[in-house]
Amino acid sequence: MSGLLALLDDVAGIAKIAAASVDDVAGQAAKAGAKAAGAVIDDAAVTPKYVHGFAAARELPIVGKIALGSIRNKLVFLLPLALLLSAFAPWAITPLLMLGGSYLCFEGAEKVLHLFRPAAAHGATEETGDPAHLEAAKVSGAVKTDFILSAEIMTIALAALPAGQSVWMEALALAVVALGITAAVYGGVALIVKMDDIGLWLARNARLAPTRAFGRGLVHVMPGFLSGLMAVGTAAMLWVGGSIVLHGAAETVWAAPYEAIHHLAVVVAAGVGESLAGTVEWLVTAACDGIFGLAFGMALVPLVTQAINPVIARIRGKGGAH
State the Cα torsion 172-176-179-183 to the nearest 10°.
Answer: 170
Residue 292 lies in a domain: yes
- Which pLDDT score, from 0 to 100, does residue 115 have? 84
Closest by CA position to 112, among listed 236, 294, 307, 243: 294
Residue 308 lies in a domain: yes
Average pLDDT rounded to a whole number, residues 145-169: 81
Residue 4 lies in a domain: no
How far CA 224 is from CA of 51, 190, 208, 218, 230, in Å, comes to 17, 17, 26, 10, 10
Residue 164 lies in a domain: yes
- Give 256 or 46, the one with higher predicted confidence: 256
- Which pLDDT score, from 0 to 100, does residue 315 have? 82
- Which pLDDT score, from 0 to 100, does residue 23 have? 46
Whether pTM exceeds 0.85: no
Range of the domain at 140: 22-120+127-316
Taking the C-alpha atoms of residue 192 and residue 214, their distance in angstroms, rounded to an integer, is: 16
- Give 296 or 114, the one with higher predicted confidence: 296
- Which pLDDT score, from 0 to 100, does residue 39 have? 60
Average pLDDT rounded to a whole number, residues 287-294: 96
State the Cα torsion 203-205-207-210 to the nearest 10°.
Answer: -10
CB 230 within 8 A of CB 244: no
Cα 229 to chain centroid distance, Å, stands at 13
pLDDT, tens digit (0-9, with 9 covering 90-100), for 63-86: 999 999 999 999 999 999 999 998
Q: How many C-beta neighbours within 10 Å does residue 152 have?
A: 28
CB 135 within 8 A of CB 6: no
Taking the C-alpha atoms of residue 151 and residue 48, their distance in angstroms, rounded to an integer, is: 20
Closest by CA position to 84, among listed 167, 157, 151: 167
Taking the C-alpha atoms of residue 79 and residue 123, their distance in angstroms, rounded to an integer, is: 36
Taking the C-alpha atoms of residue 30 and residue 24, their distance in angstroms, rounded to an integer, is: 10
Taking the C-alpha atoms of residue 89 and residue 252, their distance in angstroms, rounded to an integer, is: 16
pLDDT, tens digit (0-9, with 9 covering 90-100), for 202-253: 999 988 999 999 999 999 998 888 888 888 888 888 988 899 899 999 999 9
Average pLDDT rounded to a whole number, residues 262-287: 91
- Which pLDDT score, from 0 to 100, does residue 127 have? 55
pLDDT, tens digit (0-9, with 9 covering 90-100), for 111-144: 899 888 755 444 444 455 677 888 888 888 888 8
Residue 7 lies in a domain: no
Evaluate if residue 283 carries a pLDDT over 80: yes
- Give 91 or 312, the one with higher predicted confidence: 91
Residue 230 lies in a domain: yes
Q: For the chain, what is the mean pLDDT? A: 80
- Which pLDDT score, from 0 to 100, does residue 22 have? 42
Number of structural domains the chain divides into: 1
Average pLDDT rounded to a whole number, residues 277-286: 92
Residue 8 lies in a domain: no
pLDDT, tens digit (0-9, with 9 covering 90-100), for 35-66: 555 566 656 666 676 676 677 788 889 999 99
Residue 270 is which amino acid? A
